[in-house]
């Protein structure tokens, strides 16, 4: 790899170094903007005992749901899970540990991790089971709980366009958790629909600056729709 050329040309190379027991942060909301081919590569590699940080856990047979089939995930931080039968079964059997985390707190914990902020206070979850065991503190008469930043061994991210330096833009609401995940991986891998020349992306319009990105790969995507809703 010369200079800032972060392109890799196979998914095997893209996920090189991932090992059992690692923590993986994944972008995506539902099935929107998920790094589907990077997930498939993790499945192919068969690494186990993963801790996954992601808003959701895919569906049966797609997205992070794929990693449930061979019980590759032992722990997940998510705000909403159980859109698939296999997940529910593993949760009920205690084969997977679920750390339910409010959506905004999850997003902020990843952002904090990437931004070198070890912890922050939030009102979210105060007085609820989520606040149990966490430090409570009052600021200006209101109660807040302490939440810690999260970083991962790997971050897997789905972008729209990127240049070889790893500058990334996201398309529409496929942005969601991807930019935060990108900042918080020790190794951040981004798969995109198109790789463009440096300079083609307007500098002030880049969502994820290349400094956060270690590897870029161009792929093709199924982009499954969870709830196709149309108007008459």
Order across the sheet with 168-169: list the strands.
Answer: 168-169, 161-163, 194-196
Query: What is the smallest separation between the CB atom of 231 and another protein, expressed in angstroms?
Result: 4
Indicate which of a copy of itself, another protein, none lies near residue 80 (CB less than 5 to 8 Å, by partner kind). another protein
Rounded Cα distance between 42 and 60, Å, is 16
What does the angle CA 198 – CA 202 – CA 207 come to, to the nearest 5 degrees?
Answer: 95
Rounded Cα distance between 52 and 105, Å, is 16
Site membership for another protein, residue 111 (CB under 8 A): yes
Indicate which of another protein, a copy of itself, none lies near residue 119 (CB less than 5 to 8 Å, by partner kind). a copy of itself
82-101: contacts with another protein (CB under 8 A): 82-83, 88, 91-92, 100
Both tokens of 101, joined, read 């985390």
156-215: contacts with a copy of itself (CB under 8 A): 169-172, 175, 203-205, 207
Site membership for another protein, residue 192 (CB under 8 A): no
**Measured from the CB atom, is 40 or 206 closer to another protein?**
206
DSSP 208: B
Instruction: Say if residues 8 and 14 touch (Cβ distance below 8 Å).
Output: yes
Count of CA atoms in the C-beta half-sphere (13 A) of 86: 17
123-142: contacts with a copy of itself (CB under 8 A): 123, 137, 139-140, 142
Site membership for another protein, residue 195 (CB under 8 A): no
Radius of gyration of the chain (CA): 18
DSSP 99: E
Indicate which of another protein, a copy of itself, none lies near residue 225 (CB less than 5 to 8 Å, by partner kind). another protein
Site membership for another protein, residue 39 (CB under 8 A): no
Site membership for another protein, residue 36 (CB under 8 A): no
Instruction: Say if residues 218 and 196 touch (Cβ distance below 8 Å).
Output: no
**Binding residues vs a copy of itself (CB under 8 A):** 108, 112, 115-123, 137, 139-140, 142, 144, 148, 169-172, 175, 203-205, 207
């Amino acid at each position: 790899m010369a200079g800032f050329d972060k392109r890799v040309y196979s998914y095997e190379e893209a996920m090189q170094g991932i090992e059992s027991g690692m923590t993986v942060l994944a972008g995506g909301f539902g099935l929107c903007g998920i790094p589907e081919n990077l997930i498939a590569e993790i499945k192919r590699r068969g690494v186990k005992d993963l801790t996954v940080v992601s808003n959701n856990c895919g569906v049966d047979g797609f997205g992070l749901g794929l990693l449930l089939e061979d019980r590759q995930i032992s722990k997940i931080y998510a705000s909403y899970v159980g859109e698939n039968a296999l997940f529910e079964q593993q949760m009920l059997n205690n084969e997977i540990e679920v750390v339910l985390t409010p959506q905004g707190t999850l997003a902020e914990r990843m952002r904090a991790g990437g931004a070198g902020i070890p912890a922050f206070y939030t009102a979210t979850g105060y007085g609820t089971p989520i606040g149990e065991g966490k430090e409570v503190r009052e600021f200006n008469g209101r109660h807040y709980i302490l939440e810690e930043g999260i970083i991962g061994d790997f971050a897997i991210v789905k972008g729209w366009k990127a240049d070889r330096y790893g500058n990334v833009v996201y398309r529409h609401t496929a942005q969601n958790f991807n930019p935060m995940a990108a900042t918080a991986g020790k190794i951040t891998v981004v798969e995109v629909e198109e790789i463009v020349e440096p300079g083609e992306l307007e500098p002030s319009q880049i969502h994820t600056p290349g400094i956060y990105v270690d590897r870029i790969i161009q792929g093709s995507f199924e982009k499954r729709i969870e709830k196709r809703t149309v108007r008459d």
